């Protein structure tokens, strides 16, 4: 054993997957994972930069971990992920305790970089958005029954508010055989749930038509023996077609849930965001999905306070969101990302106004979510049990097919199983349930 490593993951699912790759890479070089940060020889901070708050969180952590270097003079601190890509070398200047800065497309160089730092005592930033080398690398998953599997890296959409295309680069599809190799190995080792990841999953193959389409991936994974649940995040409304709805509806293991980011319920704002669809296009997709799969849960992402958003345009979002009757939503106040086109749009919405609009939207959507849950009180659902509940060791927590959270009394023997549960009491966050049977 060469030493220990500790990984802090601050971003989205793709960022979590990258942490699993980093973990497997460090293991393969002879390091051992630790849960005790003060014991670690290598500290990895895998960062996000989607909103200003994410940046502030990383800077806070980096300051906080300065002290660790005093305890462990040979500690190697690695900053990886999207903020690493955005700030690159600047991070080395600002934080003398950071030894390595590495971008999302350079993860596989981490063993080399660690060895380089140990050998020379120098510090290094490697943030190249060149070609993506999609080897099938080992993955160190937190859960044996559930896997993230990326289908693309990067994004070609360039929504005007978004930093992702700048920090993750242009979209590159992953070869279908690599996706299937990872999926097969996972399912053959007892895996139950696969979540396919990409910034715009249904654009899969647009850069490499010979790989096939996203529908092909869904069909192939649906055929794997042992797979129970297939999820994906996120599709983009502009890349939607009827064939996709048909395919989804025809595959028994694809969960009856879709996360379909809306961003705004006002057509002028949607155009300024560069989203390439209107509210009418969006409503028609939702109608088709609900027609083909009446039980489907639809969740979304919304940004309020985009530059130039008037109160009337915000009210359009309020009424469109109400009309769509979403099962849930992630709602955000717009955050300026330097270098993106939206920062030049005038006038900006004052930060307090953004927060007021956000709170108003959250309150309305939470009521809708709660009412929808309330209607399901007393019904039964199949729940994939994920962990012991954080709050209370007597409870386990898991998710339904529709990705609704359910907590119920149970012990760790249920983790990784799909069990029948009665949804006894509805909350906005999900349900308190009662175990019925295996």
Binding site for ligand F3S (CB under 6 A): 11-12, 14-15, 48-50, 81-82, 163-164, 167-168
Beta carbon of residue 275, minimum distance to ligand SF4 (angstroms, whole number) = 8
Q: Give the number of other Cβ atoms within 10 Å of residue 365's Cβ.
A: 23
Is the Cβ–Cβ distance between 100 and 68 less than 8 Å?
no
CB of 329 to ligand F3S, least distance (A): 16
165 binds, among ligand SAH, ligand F3S, ligand SF4, none (CB under 5 to 8 A by kind): ligand SF4
DSSP per-residue string spanning 173-207: EPPHHHHHHHHHHHHHTT--EEEEE-TTGGGTTSS
Beta strands at 418-426 and 430-437: parallel, antiparallel or unpaired: antiparallel
303 touching ligand SAH, by CB under 6 A: yes
What minimum distance in Å lies between the beta carbon of 186 and ligand SAH?
23
Q: Which is nearer to ligand SAH, 204 or 334 (CB)?
A: 334
CB of 198 to ligand F3S, least distance (A): 10
Distance CA 350, CA 355 (A): 9
335 is a contact residue toward ligand SAH (CB under 6 A): yes
Kindly write down the DSSP assignment for every residue of 274-331, as one continuous string. T----HHHHHHHHHHHHHH-TT-EEEEEEEE--TT--HHHHHHHHHHHHHHT-SEEEE
Report the C-alpha gap between 201 and 236 in whole angstroms: 7
Per CB under 6 A, 154 contacts ligand SAH:
no
Name which of ligand SAH, ligand F3S, ligand SF4, none residue 334 binds, using a CB cut-off of 5 to 8 Å depending on partner kind.
ligand SAH
235 vs 430, beta carbon nearer ligand SF4: 235
110 CB neighbour count, 10 Å cutoff: 21
CB of 13 to ligand F3S, least distance (A): 8
Bridge partners of residue 148, in order along the sequence: 195
**Closer residue to ligand SF4 in complex, CB, 5/244:** 244
**Contact of residue 51 among ligand F3S, ligand SAH, ligand SF4, none (CB under 5-8 Å per partner type):** ligand SAH
Question: Other C-beta atoms within 10 Å of 210: how many?
Answer: 8
Cβ(185)–Cβ(149) below 8 Å: no
Residues at the site binding ligand SF4, with contacts judged by CB under 6 A: 155, 157-159, 162, 164-165, 199-200, 236
| In the complex, least distance from residue 187 CB atom to ligand SF4, rounded to whole angstroms | 28
């Amino acid at each position: 054993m060469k030493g220990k490593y500790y990984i802090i993951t601050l971003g989205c699912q793709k960022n979590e997957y990258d942490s699993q790759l980093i973990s497997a890479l460090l293991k393969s070089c002879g390091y051992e994972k630790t849960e005790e940060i003060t014991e670690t020889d290598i500290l990895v901070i895998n960062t996000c930069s989607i909103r200003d708050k994410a940046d502030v969180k990383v800077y806070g952590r980096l300051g906080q971990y300065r002290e660790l270097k005093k305890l462990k003079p040979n500690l190697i601190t690695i900053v990886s992920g999207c903020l690493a890509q955005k700030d690159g070398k600047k991070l080395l200047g600002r934080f003398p305790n950071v030894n390595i800065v590495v971008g999302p497309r350079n993860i596989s160089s981490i063993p080399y970089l660690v060895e380089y730092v140990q050998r020379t005592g120098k510090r290094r930033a490697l943030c190249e958005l060149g070609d993506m080398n999609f080897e099938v690398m080992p993955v160190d998953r937190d859960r044996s029954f559930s896997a993230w599997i990326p289908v693309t890296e990067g994004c070609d959409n360039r929504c005007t508010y978004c930093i992702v295309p700048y920090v993750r680069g242009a979209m590159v599809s992953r070869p279908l055989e690599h996706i299937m190799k990872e999926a097969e190995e996972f399912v053959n080792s007892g895996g139950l749930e696969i979540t396919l990841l990409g910034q715009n999953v249904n654009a899969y193959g647009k850069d490499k038509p010979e790989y096939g389409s996203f529908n092909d991936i869904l069909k192939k994974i649906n055929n794997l023996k042992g797979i129970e649940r297939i999820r994906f995040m996120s599709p983009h409304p502009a890349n939607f077609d009827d064939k996709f709805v048909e395919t989804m509806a025809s595959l028994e293991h694809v969960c009856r849930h879709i996360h379909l980011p809306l961003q705004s319920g006002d057509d002028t704002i949607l155009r300024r965001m560069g989203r390439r669809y209107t509210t009418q296009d969006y409503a028609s997709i939702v109608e088709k999905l609900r027609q083909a799969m009446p039980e489907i849960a639809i969740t979304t992402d919304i940004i309020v306070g985009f530059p130039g958003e008037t109160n009337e345009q915000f009210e359009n979002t309020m009424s469109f969101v109400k009309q769509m009757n979403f099962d849930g939503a992630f709602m955000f106040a717009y955050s300026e990302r330097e270098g993106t086109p939206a920062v030049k749009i005038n006038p900006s919405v004052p930060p307090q106004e953004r927060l007021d609009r956000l709170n108003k939207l959250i309150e309305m959507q939470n009521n809708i979510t709660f009412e929808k849950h309330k209607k399901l009180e007393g019904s039964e659902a199949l729940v994939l049990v994920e962990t012991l509940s954080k709050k209370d060791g007597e409870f386990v927590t898991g998710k339904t097919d529709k990705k609704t959270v359910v907590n119920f009394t149970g012990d760790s023997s249920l983790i990784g199983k799909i069990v029948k549960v009665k949804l006894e009491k509805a909350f906005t966050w999900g349900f308190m349930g009662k175990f019925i049977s295996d």
